Amino acid sequence: MATVKIVDQTNAEVGSLDLAPEVFGVEVKPEILNLVVRAQRNAARAGTHKTKGRSEVSGGGRKPWRQKGTGRARAGTIRSPLWRGGGTTFGPTPRSYEIKVNKKVRSLALKMALSTRAADDRLTVVDKLELPEAKTKHFAEIIGKLGLKKALIVVEGADNTLALSARNLPHVKLLEAEKLNVYDVLKYPQLVVVKDAVNSLEERLK
């Protein structure tokens, strides 16, 4: 069982916490992480790309010129893919990029991602995050004291003050525990989790 220290928002140590090995000590399998990240990114694709084929382009109802006797190559329609303004050959059509992944696999991948951060000593547990008002300056001060450069910060529930204070910082993302996902955990090299959010994640993923 891994033990991490708990710090306050000034980075002073205030205690320690035993992490559940079922969540933060799972064996990492890169192929599962890759599958879930691809599925998540594919789900964000609109898939609305479309080009018109020769049967969909307007015009081209009559033969441009007679078949023989002109000295030119045979042509049946001005909407041939060989012509400028013609249809596209094998162009993209609307489709879904969804990759089906079972819930158990998604859950396992999230445990692996959290375990990676814990094993690399890139997991910071904060006692609590509180701001007197919604100001980016106040949140930036906390980020500086915690020594964060590019970090994902996970809180227990929605906090409008924190959300407004963090949204203008380019390399910091604030996320609620229930919305935590594999892609964001792996994207940000530093992971900061509020103590209450750690308990929530352990209850959800055990």
Cα distance between residue 138 and residue 182, in whole Å? 28
**Does 1 score more than 80 pLDDT?**
no
> Percent of the chain at pLDDT above 90?
80
pLDDT at residue 61 in the model? 85
What strands lie across the sheet with 3-7, from one edge to the other? 13-18, 3-7, 123-126, 190-194, 151-155, 172-176
Contact 7, 142 (CB under 8 A): no
Q: Is the pLDDT of residue 38 over 90?
A: yes
Centre a 10 Å sphere on the Cβ of residue 31 and count the other Cβ atoms it contains. 7
Please name each of the domains of the chain with its CATH number: 3-30+101-205 (3.40.1370.10)
3-state secondary structure of 136: helix
pLDDT in tens, 44-77: 999 999 999 999 999 888 899 999 999 999 999 9
Which whole number is the average pLDDT over 156-167?
A: 90
